[in-house]
Amino acid sequence: MKLTVAAAPHLRSGDDVRKVMIDVLIALIPASVAAVVLFGMKALLLIIISMVSAELIELFIMRVLRQRKDFKPDFSASVTGLLLALNLSLAVSWWQAVIGVLVAIGIAKHIFGGLGKNFWNPALIGRVFLLMSFPVQMTTWFKPFDLETTATPMAILKEGSGTLPPVKDLFFGTIPGSLGEVSALLLIIGFVYLVLRGRIKLFIPLSYLGSVALISWIFYSVNSSYGSPLYHLLGGGLMLGALFMATDMVTSPMSPLGQLIFGTGCGFITMIIRYFGGYPEGVSFSILIMNSFVPLIDMATRPKRFGEVRSNA
Statement to judge: residues 183 and 52 lie in one domain: yes
Instruction: State percent of the chain over pLDDT 90.
Output: 72
Q: Average the pLDDT over 221-247 and give the result.
A: 93
Statement to judge: residues 184 and 58 lie in one domain: yes
Number of structural domains, the chain? 2
Statement to judge: residues 85 and 220 lie in one domain: no
User: How would you class 268 by CB atoms within 10 Å of its CB: exposed for 0-12, middle for 13-18, buried for 19 or more?
Assistant: middle
User: CA 176, CA 140: separation in Å to the nearest integer?
Assistant: 9
Statement to judge: residues 137 and 26 lie in one domain: yes
Q: Average the pLDDT over 178-195 and give the result.
A: 94
Examine the pLDDT at 195 and tell me if it is beyond 90.
Answer: yes
Identify the domain boundary among 151, 169, 191: 191
Indicate the length of the chain as a whole number: 313
Residue 146, phi then psi, degrees to nearest 5: -85, -10
Report yes or no on 9 lying in a domain: no
Examine the pLDDT at 313 and tell me if it is beyond 60.
Answer: no
Report yes or no on 75 lying in a domain: yes
In this prediction, residue 9 carries a pLDDT of 62
pLDDT tens digits for range 97-148: 999 999 999 999 999 888 888 999 999 999 999 999 999 999 999 989 888 8
Statement to judge: residues 53 and 82 lie in one domain: yes
Statement to judge: residues 206 and 271 lie in one domain: yes
pLDDT tens digits for range 68-81: 988 999 999 999 99
Report yes or no on 73 lying in a domain: yes
The residue range of the domain holding 233 is 201-298
Identify the domain boundary among 191, 220, 249: 191
> Is the pTM above the cut of 0.85?
yes
